[in-house]
Amino acid sequence: MPIGSMPSEAAGRGGNEDAPGLGLIVHSGDFARVHYALVMASAAAAIDRPVTLFFTMAGLRAILRSGSDGTAGWLHLPGGSDDSPAATGAEVDARYRAGGVAGFEELLNACVSFGVRFLACEMGLKAAGLDRGMLRADLPIEQGGVVTLLAAVGRNGALLMV
């Protein structure tokens, strides 16, 4: 592929059966870490690698439904270890976008467009005191466990914990 060209939107859909799977375990609730997991997922799917985002524990807060004030759950995540302790996901996202970096919602939409699989960990939901109904309805989130994740990634796939 020539430098600067982009794969088609559908390139990641379903993934390449011969490509090893990539599973990203989103365990952290820090905005910067979750943001980078979305960067990795969308990039891998763009080159036709099957990708599964597995949200668990504090990472589940990134895919919570909008609150009563209409704001998405990720906006309230702590900014991350590289930011001031008081920074929120909303503040870091605004700074990233101002600097030309893809925003959180843009990356989520890219992941959906490229066919990234979204899994919410059953155990993580229970441990965090959450239920499936508290997660975003606009994302194709499935509920599953570690066995589901391992099966999706396959024997030759890679798992990264964020």
Note the pLDDT tens digit of each residue in 20-51. Answer: 999 999 999 999 999 999 999 999 999 999 99
Q: Is 3 inside any structural domain?
A: no
Q: What are the structure tokens assigned to 85, written together?
A: 């302790």
pLDDT digits (tens, 9 = 90+) for 137-151: 999 999 999 999 999
Q: What local confidence, expressed as pLDDT, does residue 6 receive?
A: 40
Q: Is 24 inside any structural domain?
A: yes
Strand order, beta sheet including 141-144: 141-144, 117-121, 51-55, 22-26, 158-161
pLDDT at 83 over 50: yes
Q: Is 56 inside any structural domain?
A: yes
Q: What are the structure tokens assigned to 15, written together?
A: 């993934």
Confidence of residue 86 (pLDDT cuts 50, 70, 90): low
Q: Is 37 inside any structural domain?
A: yes
* Tally of structural domains, the chain: 1
Domain with 105 in it: 16-161
CA atoms of 70 and 58, how far apart (whole Å)? 21
CA–CA distances in Å: residue 85 to residues 31, 77, 78, 82, 159? 12, 11, 8, 9, 29
Q: What is the CATH number of the domain that holds 147?
A: 3.40.1260.10
Q: Is 145 inside any structural domain?
A: yes
pLDDT digits (tens, 9 = 90+) for 95-139: 999 999 999 999 999 999 999 999 999 999 999 999 999 999 999
Q: Is 65 inside any structural domain?
A: yes
Q: What local confidence, expressed as pLDDT, does residue 19 receive?
A: 84
Q: Tell me if 134 sits within 8 A of 149, measured CB to CB.
A: no
Q: Is 50 inside any structural domain?
A: yes
Q: Is 11 inside any structural domain?
A: no
